[in-house]
Chains A and B, each alone.
Chain A
Amino acid sequence: DIQMTQSPSSLSASVGDRVTITCRASQAIDIYLAWFQYKPGKAPKSLISATSTLQSGVPSRFSGSGSGTDFTLTISSLQPEDFAIYYCQHYKNYPITFGQGTRLEIK
């Protein structure tokens, strides 16, 4: 199975800050990497697919990059609604696996 390692596990930041979350795969996954946002009590929201493709309706302050084994999610200017848990996920093969998550909190 491909292991997905996210860092940091938690992050405190302020509105307007630029933040970057990293995700490393235990083997090459080409560009088959997605990011989603989760707020407990709400449906998870898909943000990015294929490493860097923004899903419809997702603000342009979100961006993704990387290839092979190393990937990043960047939020260019944090907004109050962005404080949530972020997960990466590969879909290169079965089983699909996820990172442990990054909890983004207000400083």
Chain B
Amino acid sequence: EVQLVESGGGLVQPGGSLRLSCAAFGFTASDHYMDWVRLAPGKGPEWVGRTRDKPNGYSTEYAASVRGRFTISRDDSKNSLYLQMNSLKTEDTAMYFCARVSRSGAYFDFWGLGTLVTVSS
């Protein structure tokens, strides 16, 4: 059974850093593009970024709002991906989800439960 389990969320002050983790179960994460998506209170979802699969060198894409502050990485030995978030702003407050991209098309086929990040002083 495919599962994605996020962790690492919490309360952080503006300007601070946080690293989110997403552990994958039931499939080999390196075979898939993997994304981060966030959902802020009262807003629609916002795509954060993508890491491509191993054959594509795990190259990345980022939303303009996080480019230069957030970094997506992977650890194949742990079948996991990560979201390093630096220089956090109050507007980064959201539930952060990791999502698997289907190999048969560039859409999301599985999502995790999410982890909550609150940026506040």
Contact = CB atoms under 8 A, between A and B. Distances in A.
B108 A46 contact: yes
A20 B16 CA distance: 43
A101 B63 CA distance: 20
Given A49-B102, A87-B45, A100-B44, A94 B61 contact: yes
B82 interface: no
| Secondary structure class of chain A's binding surface, majority of residues | loop
Nearest to A101: B44
Interface string B1-15: 000100000000000
B109 A98 contact: no
A34 B102 CA distance: 12
Interface in A16-47: 32, 34, 36, 38, 41-46
B113 A98 contact: no
A94 B102 CA distance: 16
Given A98-B44, A98-B46, A100-B44, A43 B108 contact: no
Interface in B34-76: 35, 39, 43-47, 50, 61, 63-64
Interface in A50-107: 50, 55, 87, 89, 91, 94-101
A9 to B, nearest CB: 10
Contacts of A42: 113
A55 B107 CA distance: 11
Contacts of B27: none
Contact of A46 (B4, B39, B111): B111
Interface of B: 4, 35, 39, 43-47, 50, 61, 63-64, 97, 99, 102, 105-114
8 contacts: A46-B110, A49-B102, A50-B105, A89-B45, A91-B107, A94-B61, A95-B47, A95-B63
